[in-house]
Amino acid sequence: MDKLPPDHAMPLPASTMPIPVDAKRQARSLYWRGWGVTQIADELGLKRATVESWKQRDRWDEAPSLSKIEDALECRLNTLIAKENKTGGDFKEIDLLMRQVVAGARVRRYQAPGGHEGDLNEKVANRNAGERKDKAAANYFTAEQIARLEEIFHEENFEYNELWWENRHQRTRMVLKSRQIGATFYFAREALLDALKGGGNQIFLSASKNQAHVFKNYIIEFAARVGVKLKGDPIVVSAEGLPEDKPTAKLIFLGTNARTAQGYTGNFYFDEFFWTFGFEELNKVAKAMASHKHWRKTYLSTPSTVAHQAYSLWTGAAYNRRRKKADQVAIDVSYDALKAGQLGADRIWRHMLTLEDAAAQGCDLFDLAEVRDENAPDEYANLYGCQFVDDSLSAFKFNELQRCTVDADVDWRDINLLADRPVGDREVWAGYDPQESTDGDNAALVIGIPPDGPDGKFRLIERHQLRGADFQEQVEFILARLKRYNCTYVGVDASGVGAGVYQILKDRHRGVVKIQYSLESKTQMVMKAQHTISRGRVEFDGGWTDLQSAFLSIKKALTQSGKAITFKASRADDTGHADMAWAAMHIFINEPLDGQTRPKTRMEILGDEEDQDPSHDVGGDEFDGEYGYLRRHERGGGRRSGRHGCLYLRGPGIGARPAYPARYGHAGVSQRPLVRTAHLPRRLGAVVQCLAAPQQCHPAQAQYRRQRA
């Protein structure tokens, strides 16, 4: 081999050097790092045309991002690997870069034909590696779960529940019952078991849809006992062993609106039917649901009044109606005849269950002696003894109260009681009747939306009762309920414990008004309530049977002197001392008796120096107008603060009104100026124009008096 010429350290021209094997790759790498073609040619000692041809021929600009990233990774890794003395940071960087190489390989595999998400994430592949379990069907019951439900059902039944179960095959059942003995609880469970054993659809009717959902909640809780979480409305259930022609059954929950209760078929349960408005019309729809001979009808309720439309169905008078005398039947609806259940000649199985009967048949949820002590005899007979009330003795008519009921969930589309602000920023009023004693007396709070005008309606949207709380606890209870509303008026009975409630509440909430009970004030409140209810200007949910009972318990009575008529209510554990009715009347009385809205702006005229002389005060210190007071001898700066009169225009104020100074002789009207006019010279015959404040009142109410000096 020839020896190489000696190296004289003189570089050869670039054009005479052979092109390195990796020159193209180096040029591409530099180009992907943002170098220009000319820069690359100068750096590598290449002709620009050569680099440009490589770029065009190999389409460097069209290369995918992954290729560019992989090239950068390779260059950096090669540099670090070739380094002789590596630092700890070098090793960490090599480890990081190698992980990125692996990630790039995963992306390559994902992009290849047949790639899937598991190529990118190995956890996905592990998750899908095991056996796939079949998802359990919704609202599905196995045979074992049904058997366990039936065991629980019979274990927790009382004796009278078993009587109802034994007569479940009756075409029509009517149960007249005491309050709070668990009838709704039982029939909800019975209906679910019947549906799971092939009984078909189950329909639940109540005074309102919200009340019908009590059935739904009981059914959901019952199913949860065996691990089944029921969903939907209506609830569609299926079960092992159901016939192929009926693989599912629907549980349908309806309010007592005849328009929305049509089109269904199945067994139906009519809850609190003695408290339903328009029973005859609704019952026609309900009976049509169960027209087929295999469907059943069940009516259950506490008694209301003999004036209710359902009373004739209970007594059999509806069956005898429009029948010849020879075809009429006599049906015994006495307690002795029905305490064990009886099938009547009209094919209705009737059962009457009092509180004593329930206790004798295993219901240990009550202390009978305590319940008797807490209720007047007539109230106890109605609430717990299955005896109907004759509302002719009541201050309020049952049928008028029934006309005020609505299905709140259906009819009040602008109210959402589950929201943080159920009515938004709309104004609401509240009435509170405090607890005076523990002798059948409860505290009651009612919240309602006031009417928009004389023809508007009071809509009662919330009612609450509490018992055994002192005045501080009652105040906290009220504030907790009112914080969701823009409440501008709270009428509080300030008698007894109510005085403490009023004193604390007026400092912590606006619009608190003191109501002192007297013979005249009670009469005025009852008259206002009678006027409002009889004209259908009140609406409340049909499920509020306790409010209806409270109004019915108010009766006319003579005072102790026997010289005047007052209104009293018997004390009862459920209705209290008609506390809920009085709380509602606190709301009604905030509107004038005739329903006309009074102007909401008052005027004050403060006179000039002539008023300083008592001889000019022909009318005295004060004029008592229809809507406000005309006052003299007051100025912001004192009696001698100027020569000109001032006119003040003010609203009615919000909250409890401070007492007047003694020299004016009027109490309860606050005087806080809202608008002050320019000074007006007072001269003989001058007319002071009254100013309107559109932001304070409706234009139609801007009626102000003019005072001629």
Nearest-angstrom CA–CA distance, 300 and 529? 30
Residues in the chain: 709
Nearest-angstrom CA–CA distance, 550 and 80? 90
Q: What share of the chain is helix, strand, coil (3-state, %, to 5)?
A: 40, 15, 45
**Tens-digit pLDDT profile for residues 506-525:** 999 999 999 988 888 888 89
In the chain, which residues fall in CATH 3.30.420.240? 391-588
Is the pLDDT at 263 greater than 50, yes or no?
yes
Is the pLDDT at 7 greater than 60, yes or no?
no
Of 59-73, 104-118, 585-599, 653-667, least confident by mean pLDDT is 653-667
**Tens-digit pLDDT profile for residues 279-326:** 888 888 888 888 888 999 999 999 988 888 899 999 999 888 888 888
**Tens-digit pLDDT profile for residues 442-451:** 789 999 999 9
Confidence band for 99, pLDDT divided at 50, 70 and 90? confident
Is the pLDDT at 8 greater than 80, yes or no?
no
* Residues 147 and 193 sit within 8 Å (Cβ to Cβ): no
Q: What is the pLDDT of residue 59?
A: 84
Average pLDDT of the residues in 365-382: 82
Q: What is the pLDDT of residue 570?
A: 58
**Tens-digit pLDDT profile for residues 122-143:** 777 666 666 666 666 789 999 9
Of 150-154, 307-311, 606-610, 629-633, least confident by mean pLDDT is 629-633
Is the pLDDT at 387 greater than 60, yes or no?
yes
Of 11-25, 447-461, 464-478, 528-542, least confident by mean pLDDT is 11-25
In the chain, which residues fall in CATH 3.40.50.300? 140-383
Which CATH code for domain 391-588?
3.30.420.240
**Tens-digit pLDDT profile for residues 669-679:** 344 444 444 44
Is the pLDDT at 4 greater than 60, yes or no?
no
Strand order, beta sheet including 443-449: 405-406, 538-541, 458-466, 443-449, 427-433, 486-493, 512-515
Of 83-92, 101-110, 350-359, 474-483, least confident by mean pLDDT is 101-110
Residue 563: CA atoms inside 13 Å, Cβ hemisphere, count? 2
Q: Which two tokens stand for residue 585?
A: 């009347």
User: Angle at CA 176, nearest 5°, toward 175 and 177?
Assistant: 105
Across 386-425, b (16+ Cβ under 10 Å) vs e yields bbbbebeebbbbbebbbbbbbbbbbbbeebeeeeeebbee
Average pLDDT of the residues in 541-550: 86
Confidence band for 258, pLDDT divided at 50, 70 and 90? low
* Homologous superfamily of domain range 140-383: P-loop containing nucleotide triphosphate hydrolases (3.40.50.300)
**Tens-digit pLDDT profile for residues 182-204:** 999 999 999 999 999 988 899 99
Task: Please state whether beta strands 602-606 and 427-433 pair in parallel, antiparallel, or not at all (unpaired).
Answer: unpaired
Is the pLDDT at 150 greater than 50, yes or no?
yes
Rounded alpha-carbon distances, angstroms, from residue 447 to 136, 426, 486, 489 = 45, 13, 11, 10
Confidence band for 652, pLDDT divided at 50, 70 and 90? very low
List CB contacts of 139: < 8 A, sequence separation 6 or more.
Answer: 228, 230, 231, 232, 235, 236, 237, 238
Q: What is the pLDDT of residue 129?
A: 62
Is the pLDDT at 634 greater than 80, yes or no?
no
**Tens-digit pLDDT profile for residues 613-633:** 444 444 433 333 333 333 333
Confidence band for 596, pLDDT divided at 50, 70 and 90? low
**Tens-digit pLDDT profile for residues 390-410:** 777 788 888 889 889 988 888
Q: What is the pLDDT of residue 465?
A: 87
**High-pLDDT (> 70) share of the chain, %:** 75
Residue 609: CB atoms within 10 Å = 14
